[in-house]
Structure 1
Amino acid sequence: GRPRAGALGRPSCQTLAIFGLLIVTGFMVLIMTKKAPPFTSLVLVPLVIGTVTGLMSQYGYTALEIPKFAIAGMISNADLKINGVAGTAIMLLFAILYFGLMLSAGLFTPVVNFILRTIKGDPLKVMLGTALLALAVSVDGDGSTTTLVVCSAMMPVYRKLNMKMMDLAVVLILSNSIMNLLPWGGPTARIIAALKVDEGELLRLIIPGMILASIWVLIIAVIRGLAERKRLGIQNLSKEDIEAVIAEQYQEDADLARPKLVWFNFLLTAIIMIQLIFGGTWIFPKVHAALIFAVGLAIALTVNYHHPADQRRIIEKYGSSAVQVIFMVLAAGVFMGILAGTGMSEAMGYALATWVPESFGSHWPLVVALVSVPGTFVLSNDAFYLGVLPVLNQVGIQQGFSAMDIAVASTAGQAFHLLSPLVGFIYLLLNLTGVDMGRWQIQSAKWGIGVFLMFLVGMFAISGVPL
């Protein structure tokens, strides 16, 4: 099989890491300069560079294996130990159709009504409402669900007031990056598995930073809200205006609205959310999110739309959005599969863990926090926390730090992780809001610096992790 990065000679490993970094950099440059669309960049950049390195025949794989790595990134390959994105793509398919159905059926109509009556046309209140809703819904740990719920509830309001969708997209992703650190979220679960630290103690130590970062997101909402208030003013929405917003949102398919079933749809959605959040704990069995949404969609279609023609309309109406998102997620799978299969991910992780000067050892938790930023951006959570973090932990232990110190410090990079092209659900967010990926990454990163600093203050100044 393919030799591990650490088993390669140091020059070869470093060169492989450079090629991996070249793939990531090439992708970012192409989309930010708009020389190529994200799909093209995600597929062609790793294929070209991976094939070129494979022709060199000195890194443990050949150019002929590149297609196999690309396919593994999409549908998984146990022999290569690559987890594909097929499960995520299927989940997104059913989730988009489910929430689209609920949008047409009118589940979110009362929510939009309430928001409009409360904000009374004030962009500042809209931004604060967006931040609070995103922070609350993100508790489920799933970015796709958060995106669908928040966008479904808030986008009609943004359209009515002519507010910037970029603000919605930025506040949503920053909120999710904070709440994703809860124990049932991806990164924390992997940290616990990699370093065998206590789940409860880890949560207690990262909560101060999460609280400070959440306050920072609310401050961002106020800043952006005041800017939008200055640009647009406060609109005095009458009862007729509110009704017009709702009518405009559903005028194309008004006959698909099911106001009498709003409580049934709410209960069904609540059950789905509870299963997503608490699956695998207490009395709730662990069930893949794709199956949860598939069952939910089947029930919702049957109850809300008895006639096959109406069911077909729902699928056709929201199927195009689902296809566009799956399109991008599978492309991200190609990108990830080639990085993982060629060993470039592992080589970049090895480089991150070994390139840091030993003189920094006395401040190792801070080093780990800083390394986690590029680490969790260019690598998947699996690759960084299960592959790189144990190496960083061994160095930390030699310097007199505990595994818990390293575990807490490694969470800081999550402030930027969700901006990575390897995160599937961001393509759903970009598709729904219609914002440009490169501009969104820049704007989110700018405000994400504050989230990162709040994480550092929480872990070092409040939780007592030694610098």
Structure 2
Amino acid sequence: MLAILGYGIVITFMLLIMTKRMTAFTSLIIVPIVFALIGGFGSNIGKFALTGVKGVAPTAVMLLFAILYFGIMINVGLFDPLSKAIIKFVKGDPLKVLIGTAILAAVVSVDGDGSTTTMIVCSALLPVYKKLKIKPLYLATIIIMQNSIMNLLPWGGPTARIMSALKIEGGDILRPLVPGMIISIIYVIGVAYYLGLKERKRLGIINIDNEVLNEMSATLDPEELALKRPKLIWINFALTILVMVTLILGKLPAAIIFEVGTALALIINYPKLKTQRQLIENHAGNAIQVVVMVLAAGVFMGILTETKMAEAIALNLASIVPKSFGSHWTLVTAIISIPGTFFLSNDAFYFGVLPVLAETGAAYGFTPLQIGIASTMGQAFHLLSPLVAFIYLLLQITEVDMGEWQKHAAKWSIGTFIIFVLAAALTGVMPL
């Protein structure tokens, strides 16, 4: 019964947002509450929801200050030289913009954090997309596809959990994944090439010269121009590098890093208190919209987890496959990892479902490493899940509809999944 209710929550949520009957925000809150009431958990809904909200609170705080920090960096003009250089380099060709997006997203995603990847890539490229009128849907799709691949690095979410759950070394799990990751990155560049050709056909190639670049600056609002700090660009660049390095080292919580970075950015660039207050007010709207979405996702996750619906889904996924499939258990694990990592958080799947799959696989002669590798295959779709907090930041910045984005990105992510599986099979680490 709990598994049915859990599936019902996720499927109903997806149907409502894809058919645009409800917004993601209202669905994340109302749908789990309705199903919790049906399941007889009415008296505990508040407690369960609050537990979920507490769980996502650090992420919400981190995103709040990340938006403020990068918003200030945009105000000071940190990304202006990069955006102008990209515009000059691509010479108004949408094809080059899309390919550049795929390359930049792959490089920036090395840190394993989706929110910083989103902020950096969108800050640098969204002005280019708007100038050339390229569909922002493509920007959101390419970013998520490349981040899904790079998230498999040992310091990323899924592999770190697999290493912990199955007692596998980082190097042992990374080596077999590398061929598939490299081919998948090239595949995403190929997808970007195809989408770029479509946009080139639709929009043509716009002649971009220095005069046009100057016009772009001239069309800025006088208030925006007054906030530029070209003389401080290297100081702001150094501060941003320091923030990124500290994030990668992982010695401090990400929320604190961005909070301190935001304070320093305000002091360095805008010593007047009135200007500081104005900037916080300017960026508060975008920040609040993302934060409330993350907190709403906390309600969703809290009810799904605390009612034991997530656990029931995990047990159902692990037991649903007939024993006759035992000789193909790695392929079974790979397939289960798609709904497993989409319907559940990485913690729930890798700490709840994976050990059961690994134990069953051992009975059929498969090693923990083979099952661990197979369980990463579903990561091609994981970041499309409504349970992933930073996607609300991506959708807010690009102004893309969630349902439309999920359908578009999922179509191309099928290719990433197939590449992951074939590469792992050909290297022998995932016998089919």
TM-score (norm 2): 0.99
CA contact (8 A) 2:77 2:230 kept: yes
Which residue matches 1:158?
Answer: 129
How far, CA to CA, are the matches of 1:451 and 1:265 in structure 2?
37
* Equivalent in 63, 79, 84 of residue 108 of structure 1: 79
CA contact (8 A) 2:98 2:192 kept: yes
Q: Specify the code of the residue in structure 2 equivalent to 1:331.
A: A
* Equivalent in 317, 332, 342 of residue 297 of structure 2: 332
Q: Specify the code of the residue in structure 1 equivalent to 2:70.
A: F
Q: Specify the code of the residue in structure 2 equivalent to 1:120.
A: K
Q: Specify the code of the residue in structure 1 equivalent to 2:309.
A: M
How far, CA to CA, are the matches of 1:73 and 1:243 in structure 2?
49
How far, CA to CA, are the matches of 2:78 and 2:141 in structure 1?
25
Task: Check 1:197–1:32 CA distance in 2 against 1; reply closer, same or farther (3 A cut).
Answer: same
* Equivalent in 192, 196, 218 of residue 221 of structure 1: 192
CA contact (8 A) 1:104 1:250 kept: no
Which of 305-314 and 97-106 deviates more? Answer: 305-314
Which residue matches 1:9?
Answer: none
Report deviation, 1:248. 3.9
Task: Check 1:251–1:26 CA distance in 2 against 1; reply closer, same or farther (3 A cut).
Answer: farther
Which residue matches 2:101?
Answer: 130
Which residue matches 1:4?
Answer: none
Report deviation, 1:201. 1.1
Which residue matches 2:34?
Answer: 48
Which residue matches 1:178?
Answer: 149
Report deviation, 1:464. 3.4
Which residue matches 2:52?
Answer: 73
| Unaligned residue ranges in structure 1 (runs of 5+) | 1-14, 55-61, 76-83, 280-285
How far, CA to CA, are the matches of 2:75 and 2:410 in structure 1?
34
Q: Which 4+ residue blocks in structure 1 deviate beyond 2 angstroms?
A: 243-252, 462-465
CA contact (8 A) 1:147 1:172 kept: yes
* Equivalent in 361, 369, 376 of residue 334 of structure 2: 369
Report deviation, 1:264. 0.6
TM-score (norm 1): 0.91
Which residue matches 2:68?
Answer: 97
Q: Specify the code of the residue in structure 2 equivalent to 1:405.
A: Q
Q: Specify the code of the residue in structure 1 equivalent to 2:334.
A: A
CA contact (8 A) 1:124 1:228 kept: yes
How far, CA to CA, are the matches of 1:140 and 1:207 in structure 2?
16
Q: Specify the code of the residue in structure 2 equivalent to 1:315.
A: I
Q: Deviations over 1:376-419 (max 9, x none)?
A: 00000000001100000000000000000001110010000000
**1:411 counterpart = 2:358:** no
Q: Deviations over 1:326-377 (max 9, x none)?
A: 0100000000000000000000000000111111110101110000000000
Report deviation, 1:72. 0.5
Which residue matches 2:237?
Answer: 266
CA contact (8 A) 2:373 2:429 kept: no
**1:140 counterpart = 2:105:** no
RMSD: 1.0
Structure richer in helix, relative to its length: 2
Task: Check 1:172–1:403 CA distance in 2 against 1; reply closer, same or farther (3 A cut).
Answer: same
Task: Check 1:135–1:109 CA distance in 2 against 1; reply closer, same or farther (3 A cut).
Answer: same
Report deviation, 1:465. 2.2
Which residue matches 1:16?
Answer: 2
**1:434 counterpart = 2:413:** no
Which residue matches 1:310?
Answer: 275
Q: Specify the code of the residue in structure 2 equivalent to 1:381.
A: N
How far, CA to CA, are the matches of 2:385 and 2:308 in structure 1?
19
**1:119 counterpart = 2:90:** yes
Task: Check 1:463–1:268 CA distance in 2 against 1; reply closer, same or farther (3 A cut).
Answer: farther
Q: Specify the code of the residue in structure 1 equivalent to 2:182.
A: I
Which residue matches 1:397?
Answer: 362
* Equivalent in 339, 344, 357 of residue 322 of structure 2: 357
Task: Check 1:422–1:249 CA distance in 2 against 1; reply closer, same or farther (3 A cut).
Answer: farther
**1:289 counterpart = 2:254:** yes
CA contact (8 A) 1:50 1:66 kept: yes
SS of equivalent residue, structure 2 residue 103: helix
Report deviation, 1:244. 2.4
How far, CA to CA, are the matches of 1:246 and 1:196 in structure 2?
55
Number of equivalent positions: 432
CA contact (8 A) 1:181 1:187 kept: yes
Q: Specify the code of the residue in structure 1 equivalent to 2:318.
A: A
Which residue matches 1:245?
Answer: 216
Which residue matches 1:63?
Answer: 42
Task: Check 1:251–1:193 CA distance in 2 against 1; reply closer, same or farther (3 A cut).
Answer: farther
Q: Specify the code of the residue in structure 1 equivalent to 2:37.
A: T
**1:192 counterpart = 2:163:** yes
CA contact (8 A) 1:206 1:459 kept: yes
Q: Specify the code of the residue in structure 2 equivalent to 1:185.
A: G
How far, CA to CA, are the matches of 2:145 and 2:162 in structure 1?
21
* Equivalent in 11, 14, 17 of residue 31 of structure 1: 17
How far, CA to CA, are the matches of 1:173 and 1:309 in structure 2?
38
Q: Specify the code of the residue in structure 2 equivalent to 1:33.
A: T
CA contact (8 A) 2:342 2:384 kept: yes
SS of equivalent residue, structure 2 residue 208: coil
Task: Check 1:441–1:455 CA distance in 2 against 1; reply closer, same or farther (3 A cut).
Answer: same
Which residue matches 2:120?
Answer: 149
SS of equivalent residue, structure 1 residue 295: helix
How far, CA to CA, are the matches of 1:249 and 1:52 in structure 2?
54
How far, CA to CA, are the matches of 1:380 and 1:362 in structure 2?
28
How far, CA to CA, are the matches of 2:273 and 2:34 in structure 1?
46
How far, CA to CA, are the matches of 1:388 and 1:361 in structure 2?
17
SS of equivalent residue, structure 2 residue 39: helix
Q: Specify the code of the residue in structure 2 equivalent to 1:372.
A: S
- Percent identical: 57
Report deviation, 1:275. 1.3
Report deviation, 1:247. 4.1
Report deviation, 1:462. 2.5
CA contact (8 A) 2:146 2:185 kept: yes
How far, CA to CA, are the matches of 2:289 and 2:178 in structure 1?
36
Report deviation, 1:251. 4.9
